[in-house]
Chain A
Amino acid sequence: MSEDDGGCGGAGKSRNSGEYFTPYPDQVLENVLENVLVFLKSRRDRNAVSLVCKSWYRAEAYTRSDLFIGNCYAVAPRRVTDRFKRVRSVSVKGKPRFADFSLLPPDWGAHFRPWVSAMATAYRALEKIYLKRMSITDDDLAVIAHSFPNFKELVLVCCEDFGTSGLAVVVSECRSLRVLELIEDDVSDDEVDWISCFPPEGTTNLESLSFDCVESPINFEALERLVARSPLLKKLRLNRHVSIGQLQRLIFRSPQLTHLGTGSFAPLEIAGQQQVDNREPDYGSAFAACRSIVCLSGFREISPEHLPAIFPVSANLTSLNLSYANIDADQLRPVIRHCHKLQVFWALDSICDEGLQMVADSCKDLRELRIFPIDGSENIEGPVSEVGLLAISIGCRKLQSVLYFCQQMTNAAVIAMSKNCPDLVVFRLCIIDRYRPDHVTGEPMDEGFGAIVKNCKKLTRLAVSGLLTDRAFSYIGQYGKLVRTLSVAFNGESDIGLKYILEGCTNLQKLEIRDSPFGDSALWSGLHHFYNMRFVWMSSCRVTRQGCTNVARQLPRLVVEVFRGDGVEGGERGDFMDTLYMYRSLDGPRTDAPQFVKIL
């Protein structure tokens, strides 16, 4: 595009020197536009700009530096590198979210290889890569390390197929590395001491280092030396092989930290013996030295008696993630009652409704709450319930995002939340005991979810659970006009439910459904909308091969994949397709589909 100036030699302009020879008016305009567009960051705005006219399309393409690919199979790498020439940052998302729950067989795809190969030649100035649910190998990491001399940031979320040897290559060769964040990845232990592979001398540029998901032990001395010569380090998230004593040494060395993942938060066991209690250092003093910490996580193997060590920083915390800490309400109390600035709180349901009440009492500024279950079995005594949810809704009026696992719920509590927390953007309620109605009234949970979509006018993400009839879906279709992501599991009565959704939710982008009685006629009713969506996932529903084929025929730009969740070839389970996964694509069906995937 940049070569295609359309001007004659003499009247053209030199972009590098900025000199002009009687430029054509068009080019002046394009110049001006480019200089303005450099400041435009929002990709949605940029997409709109690119549609105005060809000139604007070119200008926008020339100035877009941040690329976001929401579905790696929606577009081929070559098309991307042909259009955008000066990209500094790339985000690519791969597998659908239900892959996290073992519903997608291994080797399904989402390989980073074709992307990194294309970018290695096209984007030599690339600085940042963000990947989510992609398959990235050690070789791919090596390509990154070798191809981009100015590489600064690597963030991998829920990725797999690489190991510590790939990490070693990245940290040793990317001299400008500022950010290395590994979040919930599956990292194989190649027994490589990658921490020691950072350049040995001088200060580093490191601002953020997260490796809490890496299951292999870490060379602590090397880590300590690294931290000591990283004056810009603000975010440090350790894995569970770092003991509380080692943590203390690290934070003494970097009092400027703002985000800390504490590692195990338990003492080291030396040859099977516990440390003698009366020689245990005062861990609180280390935290007292870190006045800047605002975000705490980790606590992977917490000894609850050490939790008080974080008191000195609790008043400053805006984010606290205790979701790996099996602590009860009594252990939580002394910490949480100081956390007046807390905006993000993740925890296990071990804190019980009582703990949630404490959060409601102390954390008036709370924006995001996530409560995870310790015990995922159904039909057991659940430590949290509608009582906790109600308490939170009353105490935390500014709530924007909720993820709540429980065994039982009532419509009344959900309705109350919809009224008390009108700013909700994300509401994900998981009643683990499937098909469970309101346990007080025996009614389906229709009214509760209906109130959420009706009263929370900013809602963009919704996950439903419990016993639901068609009515619940009619509410969602009627009121959920801003909903972009919808998750349905073991819900629903009949096809009409899905019809309500597909016809009503005009902004729907991502639809994931499992084990619900929706069939071909419901699927057909979404034909008008599927091109506007990122993907549709339906597993263990009632769609047939014929139904899926019909959709595929009607919509040639839609890639319709069918397969079985267990990886067995064929796709059907009984009368119905086991899994249907479909998405729009500009470049036709992918060529890397494994044997068990059939593209209709």
Chain B
Amino acid sequence: MMHLKETELCLGLPGGGGCEAETLKVTGKRGFSETVDLMLNLQANDQSSSSTDLMNDKKLQNSSKNNKDVIKPPAKAQVVGWPPVRNHRKNLMAQKSHNEETEKVVAPTSTGGSGAAAFVKVSMDGAPYLRKVDLKVYESYQQLSDALAKMFSSFTMGDYGSQGMIDFMNESKLMDLLNSSEYVPSYEDKDGDWMLVGDVPWQMFVDSCKRLRIMKGSDAIGLAPRAMEKCKSRC
């Protein structure tokens, strides 16, 4: 018998534990807890620097508990022919998701409910795959920033200052950030404008953000003046 509960990564809210019976409900709507990306469970991530390590830990746990000769999987990037999808189909899908321009917030409930989740797509320049995050899971920019860092482990975010918001009032600091080769997150708001993340209070951001894009600081320069203006008009 395998007892993997201890090592299992639970797809729950921080502080929650549940991965239980709700998964079997036949409502067609996935329980909120299931749809959160594995990597965003902040409480479990303290010991590990990335989810890849966790995964390998899990597999090593499996193999040691099995006490048999389980072949350790090679690093994911090297697995040829997995998943078993015909090359023809794989090529087309890779092409498509890269070109995809339609942006939608995919909410798990569309027929009412408490509107519990706020899913947005996250893309990073240069990364081949889109991710999705639920903004309602986080309580501050810092938490979001940590989560994104784990998701796209090669990118480091700029300095958010003590408030967790970009200090838009300090132009020179802002320009430093934008001139660097570090990545900054930008988002598309309700009006369809692309803004720098951090220009408004957190809750306002969650309500108005439709989509996230992580881009190089130097590419984001064009966003700054507008961001500053909007910020000034709100203050």
Contact = CB atoms under 8 A, between A and B. Distances in A.
Contacts of A100: 84, 86-87
A443 B7 CA distance: 12
Given A102-B80, A103-B81, A440-B19, A517 B70 contact: yes
Interface in B15-50: 19-20, 23-31, 34-39
A354 interface: yes
A108 interface: no
Given A356-B28, A437-B62, A381 B36 contact: yes
Q: Name the 8 nearest CB pairs between A and B, nearest first.
A: A357-B28, A101-B81, A442-B4, A381-B37, A432-B83, A100-B86, A493-B68, A376-B83
A213 B70 CA distance: 39
B88 A374 contact: no
A316 interface: no
Contacts of A354: 28-30, 108, 110
B136 interface: no
A353 interface: yes
A61 B45 CA distance: 69
Given A435-B59, A435-B73, A442-B3, A381 B80 contact: no
Contacts of A103: 80-81
B234 interface: no
Given A385-B23, A385-B34, A410-B23, 18 more contacts: A101-B84, A103-B81, A213-B88, A352-B30, A354-B108, A357-B26, A357-B27, A373-B83, A378-B76, A379-B38, A379-B51, A387-B34, A394-B26, A410-B24, A434-B73, A435-B70, A443-B2, A487-B84
A478 interface: no
Given A381-B35, A390-B24, A439-B19, A489 B82 contact: yes
A386 interface: yes
Given A405-B83, A494-B69, A353 B29 contact: yes
Nearest to A330: B110
Interface in A298-343: 300-301, 304, 323-324, 326, 328-330
Contacts, number: 165
Task: For chain A, give the interface size range.
Answer: 35 or more
Contacts of B131: 380-381
A143 interface: no
Contacts of A440: 19-20, 23
Contacts of B37: 380-381
Interface residues of B, number: 62
Interface of B: 1-5, 7-8, 11, 19-20, 23-31, 34-39, 51-52, 55, 59, 62, 66, 68-71, 73, 76, 80-90, 92-93, 96-97, 100, 102, 104, 106, 108, 110, 129-132
Nearest to A326: B96
B2 A373 contact: no
